[in-house]
Amino acid sequence: MREIVLASASPRRREILRMLGIPFRAEESGVEEGTTGDPLSCALALSQRKALAVAERAGKEEVVVGVDTIVALDGKVLGKPSGPQEAVEMLGKLSGRVHRVYSGLTVAYGGRLLSDYRCTEVRMRRISPEEIEAYVATGEPLDKAGAYAVQGRGAAFVEEIRGCFYNVVGLPVCALLELLAKVGWRFRI
């Protein structure tokens, strides 16, 4: 398998690629992650900007993957919390509710851009204020969109997931492999 270039600094995305045995190197895109508009359009646009930013520095024969994941409740984006207080507020809003996680993916290769997305619904159980405070105190939610890590302690709050689990972590594996196949990159177990 040929190495891909991951246009991301996300340790979770790197972890997923390592778990799958996909050879890669990671390069930060330097793209500002501001969001305006609907969550899906934002995720797609940001994934495209990230892939393009890194593709401009990479060789034309390199396969560059840009990804952006956005958590939304009632159509409103819940980004990474600015601090503990905002994390508490976000988790309070998510408590007992269903929200959506959108990931936009873009593959840049040979002057072409191919994009796709995934949307996953996540139902949170009711979370007590004490649980929220204790969770935020661990520091885990402070660098996560929506203020929780489904692959960490935040899993204790998740009642149901409809769709791709890895989308909620930050890299929808099946969507990624489908896009890579379209540019001739083949995954082998």
Q: Which residues contact 124 (CB under 8 A, 6 or more apart)?
A: 94, 95, 96, 97, 98, 99, 157, 158, 159
Please provide residue 106's backbone torsions phi and psi, each rounded to the nearest 5 degrees. Answer: -135, 135
**68 is an active site residue:** yes
Helix, strand, coil percentages in the chain from 3-state DSSP, rounded to 5:
40, 25, 35
Contact 113, 107 (CB under 8 A): yes
Spatial contact of 172 and 105, defined as CB atoms under 8 Å apart:
yes
Residues 6+ apart with CB under 8 A from 169: 12, 16, 150, 151
Point out the catalytic residue in the list 38, 68, 74, 143: 68
d(CA 66, CA 142): 22
What type of residue is 33?
E
Q: Are strands 76-78 and 63-73 parallel, antiparallel or unpaired?
A: antiparallel
* Cα 132 from Cα 91, distance rounded (Å): 7
Show the tokens assigned to 64: 């560059």
Catalytic residue annotation:
68
